[in-house]
């Protein structure tokens, strides 16, 4: 990733914000950071007000002194552009920079991540700052990457955004006629005769007190527009930097499974993906792994930077629990196992005041280097040094992919009539979890990605079918691929307009069945709220059930009522008036098969289903063994990254108990430098990790 900068190990460090403290503290930092084996710091993420104290004055002197200090210590720099929090004087002088929120309120100055993306002031001064920074540091060789803005997020509904939205729509649709047709504006008399009649969809317009839009097509486009507007801010800064330093690498730190921005579109503009991971005590390891895979998948499986994690606690949960001894190391290896080639913390030293003063840091308020956290971080820094370049550059070689798509997420969760019990990522995670717990390598891909390298493609809730996707899916299956859909597949086109002919629309031939109705199931509850009215009464737990492989599994949330048109029925619903109708089908097309799962079920079901699919496709786990073989290694994650010369296996114990794993190859354990013979039992301490390199 950074070989051209002479980097031959996992870079290690994090956000360093010394603008908050005095010279003496900075002196101490320069002794302590090297002690912890920190070799990269992220600078200048929130310094705009200091860099530009007034409209025509730029002052980089303090940043220069920080850059000099860390450079003298041989550290690399991830250079921020500081544009995620603008100066107060700018908001006072140019209020167009302030956002209008969902409720329609013009914001005042405060907090961060708050610029209107279409504000002329923001667009001018953020780009100018990026350009000046690039000019100032063009010869600063230890800058390995530029960190533009920080955790881009949020939506603005101001008049500038509305105007820009209309331009965006003109560009997309060309004519109002087309827009009216695609949005079906004949509904509720919405026909637009002038572009200026179109307003932003917020609480003042299409969301009267509810959380679902009253005009889905418009809202969907506004979400796309909003994501694109903010992306344009990124692109403008990036271009300003690259205009000065043409081989500069640029990134921005993404967030997890984040709904607001279509990261797949963003990734095309980013050189190296990076993201911030803040697992809590109760976060399941499969969730973290999924988030890593999601980010890794954005750039075709290339390594990414873990830009932030806390060495200990966060400050933004109601209750911020400590990372237990060994947990930071375990989470770090999990990131590496799924593609991270740099590990960074937020942050190097705790703030002396402000919202984040109780957030964990390498150096806490005591300033000591013998705290548990400092000792763990230093020991891990030493370990990474020892691993050298061995973990770098490997990729996964997954034969199974899961499709995850942002516009699908937006459209599906924003329209009335879809059960509010379904959350798109949760349903995707059910499949991912089954694969993760069987240690099967998985790529997370988009609907536009190449399916042909996978033996199984799982497309849960494939609600929105974009142009040409059905044809590519048919081609994939015909050539021998295994494709899986679930309920809520094949409903709308990319503009949230219903596909013709009933569900599953254009996927009907692939699935070999049609869905006439879907029964949405209640949870066990003794009252419910409908249109703001509290309706008393008792609704029983209305789950249904189906029998698969001789086991009865629960059917939750939704049951499609299907009529097969050529598909084989593998399981039927057991109850209600549609008892006997298919719950799971399998249809053949050419050399391949399409599965359809007509309901949502329990973890046990997905695990059973995944095992059968993998057997059918001839896919094994990370050891290339049949999934069944490692069932007894519960709580152990096994992941592999590889290149032409070697495979690096990560054996991660997510439990507190000691575990044993049979390792099937000859290799070398890198953290302890010991040989491992094929068939040898490897012991993992509670939360322990082994990293075993196998030469090819
Ligand atoms: C985010 C931000 C950081 C910091 C951390 C705290 O990830 O990018 O600036 O606020 O959260 O957890
Ligand atoms: Zn705006």
pLDDT tens digits for range 166-178: 999 999 999 999 9
CB 356 near ligand 1, within 6 Å: yes
Per-domain residue ranges of the chain: 3-84+120-152+247-387, 170-220, 400-617, 632-695
Question: How many whole angstroms from 205 Cα to the centroid of ligand 2?
Answer: 16
Report pLDDT for 564: 98
Ligand 2 centroid from CA 452, angstroms: 42
Q: Which of 134, 111, 131 is nearest to 123 (CA)?
A: 131
Q: Give me the pLDDT at residue 631, please.
A: 64
**pLDDT value at 210 more than 90:** no
Give the pLDDT score at 632. 72
Q: How far is the CA of 97 from the centre of ligand 1 (A)?
A: 22
- Mean residue pLDDT across the chain: 95
Residue 639, H or E segment: strand 636-642
Q: Is 278 in the pocket of ligand 1 (CB under 6 A)?
A: yes
- How high is the pLDDT of residue 534? 54
345 C-alpha to ligand 1 centroid (Å): 10
Q: What is the pLDDT of residue 527?
A: 47
Spatial separation of the C-alpha atoms in residues 473 and 490, rounded to whole Å: 12
Residue 37 Cβ < 6 Å to ligand 1: no
**pLDDT for the residue 531:** 53
Summarize pLDDT for 563-578 with one digit per residue, the tens: 999 999 999 999 999 9
Place domain 632-695 in its CATH homologous superfamily: Golgi alpha-mannosidase II (2.60.40.1180)
Q: Three-state DSSP class for 277?
A: coil
At 456 the pLDDT is 98
Q: Please tell me the distance from the alpha carbon of residue 192 to that of residue 181, in angstroms, as a whole number.
A: 10
Nearest CA-CA partner of 424 in 415, 395, 17, 443:
415
Task: Identify the three-state secondary structure at position 196.
Answer: helix
pLDDT per position as a tens digit, 109-166:
999 999 999 999 999 999 999 999 999 999 999 999 999 999 999 999 999 999 999 9
Pair of tokens at residue 559? 């049951």
Q: Which pLDDT score is estimated for 274?
A: 98
- CA dist 174 and 152 (Å) reads 29
Provide DSSP, 30-63.
HHHHHHTT--EEEE-SS-HHHH-SBTTB---HHH
What is the per-residue pLDDT for 535?
53
Evaluate: CB of 347 within 6 angstroms of ligand 1: no
Checking if the pLDDT of 598 tops 50, the result is yes
Is the pLDDT assigned to residue 416 strictly greater than 90? Answer: no
Burial of 468 from C-beta contacts in 10 A (0-12 / 13-18 / 19+): exposed
**Predicted local distance difference test score (pLDDT) of residue 529:** 52
Find the 210 Cα to ligand 1 centroid distance in Å: 30
Q: With a 6 A CB cut-off, is 151 part of the ligand 1 pocket? A: yes
Answer yes or no: 308 catalytic: yes
**Does the beta carbon of 308 sit less than 6 angstroms from any atom of ligand 1?**
yes
Task: Return residues with CB closer than 5 A to ligand 2 (ion).
Answer: 116, 156, 158, 160-161
Start-to-end CA span in the chain (Å): 22
| Ligand 1 contacts CB of residue 413 (under 6 A) | no
Q: Is 302 a catalytic residue?
A: no
Mean pLDDT value across residues 428-438: 97
Poorest-pLDDT segment among 128-142, 296-310, 415-429, 442-456: 415-429
d(CA 685, CA 227): 44
Q: At 515, is the pLDDT very low, low, confident or very high (cuts 50, 70, 90)?
A: very high
CA distance 658 to 105: 55
pLDDT band at 79 (very low <50, low <70, confident <90, very high): very high
Question: Rounded distance, CA 479 to CA 358, Å?
Answer: 56
Site to substitute for ligand 1 among 151, 251, 253, 316, most atoms within 8 A of C-beta: 151
- Encode pLDDT of 320-362 as tens digits: 999 999 999 999 999 999 999 999 999 999 999 999 999 999 9
Beta bridge pairs of residue 146:
79, 250
When pLDDT is cut at 50, 70 and 90, the band that residue 462 belongs to is very high
Question: In this model, does residue 496 exceed pLDDT 50?
Answer: yes
Write a three-state SS string for 424-486: HHHHHHHHHHHHHHCCCCEEEECCCCCCCCCCEEEECCCCECCCCHHHHHHHHHHCCCEEEEE
* pTM listed for this prediction: 0.96
User: Average pLDDT in the 639-646 region?
Assistant: 94
Q: Residue 143 and residue 77: Cα distance in Å, rounded? A: 4
Instruction: Give the number of the atom of ligand 1 that is nearest the alpha carbon of residue 151.
Output: 8
Q: Is 359 in the pocket of ligand 1 (CB under 6 A)?
A: yes
Nearest protein CA to atom 4 of ligand 1, as residue: 346
Residue 95 pLDDT > 90: yes
- H/E element, 144: strand 143-147
In which order are the strands placed within the sheet that holds 646-653? Answer: 636-642, 646-653, 689-695, 667-669, 674-676
- Residue 133 — φ and ψ, nearest 5°? -60, -45
∠ CA 321-655-653, rounded to 5°: 115
Compute the distance from residue 14 Cα to the ligand 1 centre, in Å.
11
CATH, domain range 400-617 = 3.40.50.880
Place domain 3-84+120-152+247-387 in its CATH homologous superfamily. Answer: Glycosidases (3.20.20.80)
What is d(CA 478, CA 590) in angstroms, rounded to the nearest whole number?
A: 4
Read off the pLDDT of residues 14-43 as tens digits, 9 standing for 90 and up: 999 999 999 999 999 999 999 999 999 999
Q: Please state which of the ranges 149-163, 274-288, 469-483 shows the lowest mean pLDDT.
A: 274-288
Strands 340-345, 304-308: pairing is parallel
Contacts 24+ apart (CB under 8 A), 489-494: 489/459, 489/461, 489/462, 489/463, 489/596, 490/462, 490/463, 490/465, 491/463, 491/464, 492/411, 492/463, 492/464, 492/465, 493/464, 493/465, 493/466, 493/467, 494/407, 494/464, 494/465, 494/466, 494/467
241 pLDDT above the threshold of 50 = yes
| Mean predicted confidence (pLDDT) in 189-208 | 96
* Whether the predicted pLDDT of 524 surpasses 80: no
Residue 577 burial (C-beta neighbours within 10 Å; 0-12, 13-18, 19+): exposed
**Is residue 532 scored above 80 in pLDDT?**
no
Choice among 151, 293, 383, 474 that is catalytic: 151
* Residue tagged 């296996």 (tokens): 649
Ligand 1 atom closest to Cα of residue 316: 12
């Amino acid at each position: 990733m950074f070989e051209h900068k002479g980097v031959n190990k996992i870079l290690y460090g994090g956000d360093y914000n010394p603008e908050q403290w005095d010279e003496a503290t900075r002196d101490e930092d320069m002794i302590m950071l090297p002690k912890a084996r920190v070799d990269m710091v992220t600078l200048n993420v929130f310094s705009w007000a200091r860099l530009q104290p007034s409209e025509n004055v730029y002052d980089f002197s303090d940043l220069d002194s920080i850059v000099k200090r860390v450079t003298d210590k041989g550290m690399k720099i991830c250079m921020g552009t500081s544009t995620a929090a603008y100066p107060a004087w700018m908001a006072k002088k140019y209020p167009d920079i302030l956002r209008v929120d969902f409720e329609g309120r013009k914001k005042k100055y405060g907090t961060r991540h708050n610029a209107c993306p279409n504000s002329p002031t923001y667009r001018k001064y953020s780009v100018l700052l990026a350009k000046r920074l690039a000019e100032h540091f063009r010869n600063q060789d230890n800058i390995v990457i530029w960190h533009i803005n920080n955790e881009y997020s949020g939506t603005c509904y101001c008049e500038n955004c509305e105007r820009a939205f209309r331009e965006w729509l003109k560009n997309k649709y060309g004519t109002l006629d087309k827009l009216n047709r695609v949005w079906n504006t004949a509904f509720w008399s919405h026909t637009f005769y002038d572009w200026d009649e179109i307003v932003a969809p917020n609480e003042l317009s299409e969301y009267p007190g509810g959380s679902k839009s009253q005009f889905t097509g418009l809202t969907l486009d506004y979400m796309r527009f909003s994501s694109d507007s903010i992306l344009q801010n990124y692109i403008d800064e990036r271009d300003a930097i690259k205009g000065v330093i043409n081989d500069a690498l640029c990134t921005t730190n993404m967030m997890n499974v984040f709904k607001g921005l279509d990261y797949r579109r963003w990734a095309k503009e980013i050189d190296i993906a990076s993201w911030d991971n803040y697992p809590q005590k109760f976060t399941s390891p499969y969730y973290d792994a999924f988030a890593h895979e999601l980010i890794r998948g954005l750039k075709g499986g290339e390594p990414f930077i873990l830009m932030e994690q806390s060495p200990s606690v966060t400050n933004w949960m109601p209750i911020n629990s400590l990372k237990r001894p060994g947990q930071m190391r375990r989470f770090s290896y999990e990131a590496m196992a799924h593609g991270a080639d740099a590990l960074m913390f937020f942050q190097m030293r705790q703030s002396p005041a402000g919202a984040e003063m109780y957030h964990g840091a390498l150096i806490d308020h005591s300033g000591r280097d013998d705290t548990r956290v400092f000792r763990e971080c230093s020991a891990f820094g030493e370990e990474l040094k020892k691993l050298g370049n061995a973990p770098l550059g490997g990729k996964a070689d997954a034969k199974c992919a899961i499709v995850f798509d942002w516009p699908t997420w937006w459209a599906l969760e924003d329209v009335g009539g879809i059960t509010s019990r379904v959350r798109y990522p949760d349903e995707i995670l059910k499949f991912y979890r089954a694969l993760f717990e069987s240690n099967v390598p998985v790529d997370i891909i988009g609907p536009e990605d190449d399916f042909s390298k996978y033996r199984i493609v799982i497309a849960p809730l494939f609600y929105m079918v974009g142009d040409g996707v059905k044809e590519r899916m048919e081609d994939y299956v015909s050539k021998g691929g295994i494709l899986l859909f679930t309920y809520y597949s094949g409903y709308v086109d990319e503009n949230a307009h219903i596909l013709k002919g009933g569900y599953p629309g254009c996927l009907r031939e692939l699935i070999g069945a049609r869905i006439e109705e879907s029964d949405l199931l209640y949870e066990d509850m003794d009252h419910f709220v409908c249109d703001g009215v509290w309706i008393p009464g008792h609704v029983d737990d209305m789950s249904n059930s189906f029998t698969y492989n001789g086991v009865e599994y629960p059917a939750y949330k939704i049951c499609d009522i299907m009529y097969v048109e050529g598909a084989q029925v593998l399981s039927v619903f057991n109850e209600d008036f549609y008892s006997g109708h298919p719950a799971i089908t399998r249809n053949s097309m050419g050399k391949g098969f399409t599965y359809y799962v007509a309901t949502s079920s329990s973890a046990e079901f997905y695990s059973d289903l995944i095992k059968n699919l993998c057997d059918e496709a001839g896919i094994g786990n990370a050891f290339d063994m049949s999934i069944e073989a490692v069932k007894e290694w519960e709580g152990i994650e096994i992941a592999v990254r590889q290149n032409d010369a070697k495979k690096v296996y990560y054996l991660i114990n997510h439990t507190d108990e000691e575990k044993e794993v049979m390792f099937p190859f000859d290799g070398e354990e890198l953290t302890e430098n010991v040989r491992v013979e094929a068939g040898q039992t490897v012991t993992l301490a509670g939360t322990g990790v082994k990293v075993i390199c196998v030469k090819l």
